Amino acid sequence: MSPAVAVNKGAATRESVVGHALSIALTDGFEGLTIGNVAQSVGMSKSGVFAHFGSREDLQLAVLDAAAQRFTDNVFMPAMREKRGLPRLRAIMRHWVIWMRNEGCPMVSAAVEYDDRPGPIRDRVVEYQTRLRRELARAVQMAIDTGELKDDCDPQQLAFEIFAVELALHHDSRLFKRNDSMVRAERSMQRLLDSYRS
């Protein structure tokens, strides 16, 4: 095998391991992620997994990074194709509702699991959640700048309220397995935007 092929193969294996680990984190949480059960799920030896991730924590951090990347790809990137302002904000909200309903968000699980446990995982979750809220507030600010939302709309406040609806959607669709939770979330989003429309 040439060095380039070996590097590609290594990257592909790493990606496959992270993909399996992401699925485990979604059902069993981040505390349910161990080198052992990921190895079993992907059909590798534990030492094989260790060759890619030096520790359980490294693996957990890689899963967080992968989850954040998937969220960006599925929610923010498609919205970038929409016009700045309300159309883009609406697109973020729409894609986010679909993401929560279909995928469930491992970051929500990680936030609850690590909110009281200082360390690198908690720091990474805080970093991603801070960035998400900042990007969301920025999208709100653009809709204020275009005159589509009221001047006195507080972008951080509306970002908090949008996030709140997403959390409740995550909760209801996963815990109650209710099909109407997406409709509820969309109605809430519509009410929210209406109350801030100029």
Applying CB under 8 A, which residues contact its own copies?
26-29, 31-32, 104, 108-109, 111-113, 115-117, 122, 125-126, 129-130, 156-157, 160-161, 163-165, 167-168, 171-172, 174-176, 184, 187-188, 191, 195
Say if CB 99 and CB 71 are below 8 A apart. yes
Least spacing, CB of residue 27 vs its own copies, in Å: 4
Least spacing, CB of residue 118 vs its own copies, in Å: 11
SS3 of 150-184: the string is CCCCCHHHHHHHHHHHHHHHHHHHHHHCCCCHHHH
Q: How far apart are the first and last CA of the chain?
A: 63
Which CB sits closer to its own copies, 61 or 168? 168
Say if CB 101 and CB 173 are below 8 A apart. yes
Least spacing, CB of residue 184 vs its own copies, in Å: 5
Which CB sits closer to its own copies, 44 or 137? 137
Least spacing, CB of residue 61 vs its own copies, in Å: 17
Least spacing, CB of residue 116 vs its own copies, in Å: 4
- 3-class secondary-structure state, position 117: coil
What's 83's DSSP letter?
A: P
Burial of 4 (0-12, 13-18, 19+ CB in 10 A): exposed
Say if CB 17 and CB 44 are below 8 A apart. yes
Which CB sits closer to its own copies, 44 or 92? 92
Structure tokens at 117: 């446990």
Please count the CA atoms within 13 angstroms of the CA of 53 that sit on its side-chain side: 25
Least spacing, CB of residue 148 vs its own copies, in Å: 18
